[in-house]
Every structure is written in structure tokens, then in C-alpha cells.
Amino acid sequence: MKSTFLLLILAACMGLSANGQVLHARYAAYGDLILTGLGSAPFPHPQRAEGLRYRDSLYSAEEHYRDSTVAIFVPRGFKPGEKTDLLIHFHGWFNNVDSVLSQFRLIEQFSGSRKNAILVVPQGPRNAPDSFGGRLEDKGGFKRFVQDVLSFLVQQGRIPSATPGRIILSGHSGGYHVISYILLRGGMTENIAEIYLFDALYGQTEKYTHWLEDSKGKLLAIYTEDGGTKAETESLTADLEGWGIPFVAKNEEMITRHDLADNRIVLIFTPLGHNDVIHVHETFRKFLEASNLLDIH
């Protein structure tokens, strides 16, 4: 039994290594992509030890909740300092790290923004209809994850110090859930500078508004007609108006770089489809370009 378990671990590591080599080569023109497994990654997690039953299907723990892969991308020209700025992106339902990077062109857009930061994409529920963020929803789980990512980069000789700088949280679709719990009990609220929601505000809105009230952070949210987020976003708009909190709400074609850069809360309605909001108009890149992260020179 013990030898079988060790063989399974070895096979998983070999698979991660082989896939990492393929992805590293794919994105080599933009910088260095590293795939690694981390003990603080979202999964496995006790709440999914038996998998998840959704409607009439069982999404087994073995297939969908055992992958501790974390993708870490260091853009070409990155200049390390005493603190390291991070953008951490959380994917939605029925996705995995590889498909997210390729479908939504995250690395191409991140590289195109020319920001001196590191992109991190942890594997959430793998190809499953689930918004649960695993260990990152536990108390202090996000802090442990960030510390592990930075310590790994120190060990790799990529940065001199494991001290975090500014952190941007980005989520598409079901990625909203883990972000909201990071804000509630992740342990690093003071570092979180911005949040990007890509057709993702399905709920947990009180956690976002509490963060906005207690921090100086920025929220950029883009939503669609049929993605399931319109009612919640419009409800937030009404609340902000009632509370007298300044914000910008516009259709996508009217949004300017000035709007994104100079306002704390920007709510954007787009005619695009749910799976188009990140990359079709390069919105991920545009959000980053308007951020306060330092540029690569």
C-alpha cells in the first residue's frame, strides 16, 4: 500500500514536470512560467475529501480536488526588490490552470501591461462546477499561501526577500467566492490594493463592501447581460448611491483609462459574453495598465 502511494506521488510529480516544460516553452517569449505544487494551495481540502455531488453528477476528489498546482509567471524584464507585488487570479467553473492561461490569454495580457509584478494562478476545483476556494477560504489560509509563493521564489533565486508588496486579486465567474473569504479572514487585507471581478459578482457582496469601507483599495467589476451577475451588480450600484459613496458606472464603450485609473469603484456593463470579458477586448491588460503597480522599464 505504501509503495503504491509513493508511486502515485511520483507519477503526479512527473506529470506536473512534463506539463510545466510544455507551458514554459509556450510562454518563453513573454517571460518564465513555473508550475509547482504547494502545500498551502487550495486543494486538497477536507470539505472536498469525498468530492462534490452537483445535480446528478459526482465530481470525485481524485479527479477534481487533489491538484495542488500553482502557476507562477515572472515577466521578461522583471526587476526584483525588497518587496514583491503580486496579481493572483482565480478561475471559475469547469476550468484548470492550463485552460485558463490559454483561453483567456492571461500571460500575454499580463506581459503586455508591462507591470513589474508576478502573476500567480492557483488551481481551484479542477474542471468542476464549484466556487469553493479550499484552503484559501480558511482563516489565515491566504497569508500562508502568499508566504509559500514568495518563499518558493526566494529559493528559486527570483527575488531576494519573501516580503509581500501590493496584491491584486482577480477573479472570473466563480472566482468571486474565494476572493470574498480572503477579504474576510485571509490575513492580508492591508496588502490588497485592488480587486478585479470579471462577470463574477454573484454574491458575498457584503464582504466586498466591508473591504471598501475599511481600506483604500480599488474595485473594478465588469458584468454582462446574461452571465448571472447583472442583478447583484445593479443592487450594489443602488447601495453605493444610497450610501453616498463615489463610483463610476458606465457601458464598456464609454470607459476611459482615466476612469479606471482615478476612481476607487468602477462598474462596467459589457455586451460581451460571460467567457469573453477577460480577453476579447483585453480588459485584463487594461485594468492592469491603470493600476498603481510600477512599470517595467
Return the pLDDT at 22: 78
Q: What pLDDT score does 252 carry?
A: 98
Q: Which CATH superfamily is domain 2-289 in?
A: Alpha/Beta hydrolase fold, catalytic domain (3.40.50.1820)
Give the dihedral sign, CA 69/40/138/169: negative
Q: What single DSSP character describes residue 296?
A: P
Residue 260: the pLDDT is: 98
Domain borders along the chain are 2-289
For 163-201, the DSSP string reads EEEEEEEEEEGGGHHHHHHHHHHSS-GGGEEEEEEES--
**DSSP code, position 39:** T
* Rounded Cα gap, residues 67 and 44, in angstroms: 7
Q: Are 125 and 87 in contact (CB under 8 A)?
A: no
pTM of the model: 0.92
pLDDT < 50 regions, the chain:
1-2, 5, 9
Q: How far apart are the first and last CA of the chain?
A: 54
Q: Measure the CA–CA gap between 184 and 208, rounded to whole angstroms.
A: 9
- Amino acid 204 reads Q
**pLDDT at 1 (0 to 100):** 46
Instruction: Tell me the per-residue pLDDT of 57-87, one tens digit each, with 9 for 90 and over.
Output: 999 999 999 999 999 999 999 999 999 999 9
Instruction: Identify residue 199 by its one-letter amino acid code.
Output: D
DSSP structure class, residue 56? T
The predicted-structure confidence for 223-248, as pLDDT tens digits, reads as follows 999 999 999 999 999 999 999 999 99
Q: What is the pLDDT of residue 5?
A: 43
Please give the pLDDT value at position 29.
95
